[in-house]
Amino acid sequence: MNNPVYINGEFMEYEAARIDLEDRGYQFADGVYEVINSYNGKPFRMIEHFERLKKSAAALEIKVSDYGQLQADAEELIRRSGFTDASLYLQITRGTEPRSHAYSDDLTPNIVMTVKELKNHPDEYYQKGVKAITLPDERWSRCYIKTIALLPNVLAKKKAKRAGAFEAIMVRDGFITEGTSSNLFIVRDERIITPPATNYILNGITRRVILEEAAKLGFTVLEESISLGELFEADEVFLTGTTTEVMPVVEIDGGVIKDGKPGKITGKLFDHYRGLLG
Ligand code: PDD
């Protein structure tokens, strides 16, 4: 197949794929998702992504009958795509019914998966670092759910792009939460710090990998709140995410971080992370 997709248990060509106009994802953003990268044909941290997917769906009372089969189907779709390095998008919406805010209890979810060839960000972003802006975090209070309702993230990312920045770092009550599609870390006095995984952030799989691996490398790692002031005074700032990997941030709101160059520890973590991807 040229461009295989998956809908509700069936593999088909992209052009043949159909979703009902009354899918609740389309009308209410009533659904959850995951983005899973696969390197050299091997999905990275598939189990963790599926664990989070299950939690997200359960938090919204979306019931999936067989996650084991779904995971096997995800692997099969990656295989059918033929891409050496691939990015899988998996979306589960509550299902289809005539539009009404309150949902029926017996809905069958609509499960869609698409796969694209994985395209890394330009090397230059990692070598020279990127710019970011800060913005108020205007999201709801259940950001640990990876829901497809992403309007605040979408609007904030667009503002960042308009400002010539790579990411918008969101701030709630004076403290950093995360990026619009990434988690945030700072380095201070050789200690690696990231905000705790409360309900106000998405507990990124890459975030967890970096916390684990940095500890293995002998660094002190802390999950602690980071104020806006601490962000600007950091020795190093970096973002993590499936598509972001480990991205150095060298300028925020027009002010440079330290000497305006990617930090040594960030570089070490980036190299180490790349090494894990196979
Ligand atoms: N986003 N925080 C938010 C709000 C995110 O949307 C993401 C990922 C992350 C990083 O999570 P992970 O390390 O598990 O990818 C943090 C995906 C990639 C996206 O929306 O495209």
Per domain, the residue ranges of the chain are 4-117, 123-276
What is the set of active-site residues? 146
Most informative mutation of 119, 145, 146 for ligand 1 (most atoms within 8 A of CB) = 146
Report pLDDT for 230.
Answer: 98
Q: Is 74 exposed, middle or buried (0-12, 13-18, 19+ CB in 10 A)?
A: buried
Report the Cα 23 to chain-centroid distance in Å: 24
Rounded Cα–Cα distance for residues 218 and 97 (Å):
53
Kindly give the parts of the chain with pLDDT less than 70.
1
Q: Which residue has the tokens 């500890």?
A: 215
Most informative mutation of 49, 171, 182 for ligand 1 (most atoms within 8 A of CB) = 182
The fold adopted by the segment(s) 4-117 is D-amino Acid Aminotransferase; Chain A, domain 1 (3.30.470)
Report pLDDT for 1.
Answer: 64
- Closest ligand 1 atom to 146 CA: 6
- Reported as half-sphere exposure (CB side, CA atoms, 13 A), residue 213 has a value of 19
Report pLDDT for 3.
Answer: 87
Report CA(2)–ligand 1 centroid distance (Å): 27
Rounded Cα–Cα distance for residues 233 and 219 (Å):
20
Residue identifier of the C-alpha nearest atom 8 of ligand 1: 181
Rounded Cα–Cα distance for residues 90 and 94 (Å):
14
Q: Check the CA dihedral 26-7-76-115 and report its sign.
A: negative
- Closest ligand 1 atom to 243 CA: 18
Report CA(46)–ligand 1 centroid distance (Å): 14
Q: Is the pTM of this model over 0.95?
A: yes
Query: What homologous superfamily is domain 123-276 in, according to CATH?
Result: D-amino Acid Aminotransferase, subunit A, domain 2 (3.20.10.10)
Provide the β-strand partners of residue 34: 90
Which residues' Cβ are closer than 6 Å to ligand 1?
Answer: 35, 153, 178, 181-183, 202, 204-207, 240-243
Residue identifier of the C-alpha nearest atom 19 of ligand 1: 181
Rounded Cα–Cα distance for residues 57 and 69 (Å):
16
Report CA(242)–ligand 1 centroid distance (Å): 6
Most informative mutation of 242, 247, 269 for ligand 1 (most atoms within 8 A of CB) = 242
Report CA(98)–ligand 1 centroid distance (Å): 31
- Reported as half-sphere exposure (CB side, CA atoms, 13 A), residue 56 has a value of 28
Strand locations in the chain, DSSP E?
4-7, 10-13, 31-39, 42-43, 86-93, 110-117, 130-136, 167-172, 175-179, 183-188, 191-194, 220-223, 236-241, 245-252, 255-256
If you ran DSSP here, which 8-state letter would residue 121 be given?
P
Report pLDDT for 256.
Answer: 98
Report pLDDT for 278.
Answer: 75
CB within 8 A of 199, min separation 6: which ones?
A: 141, 142, 143, 144
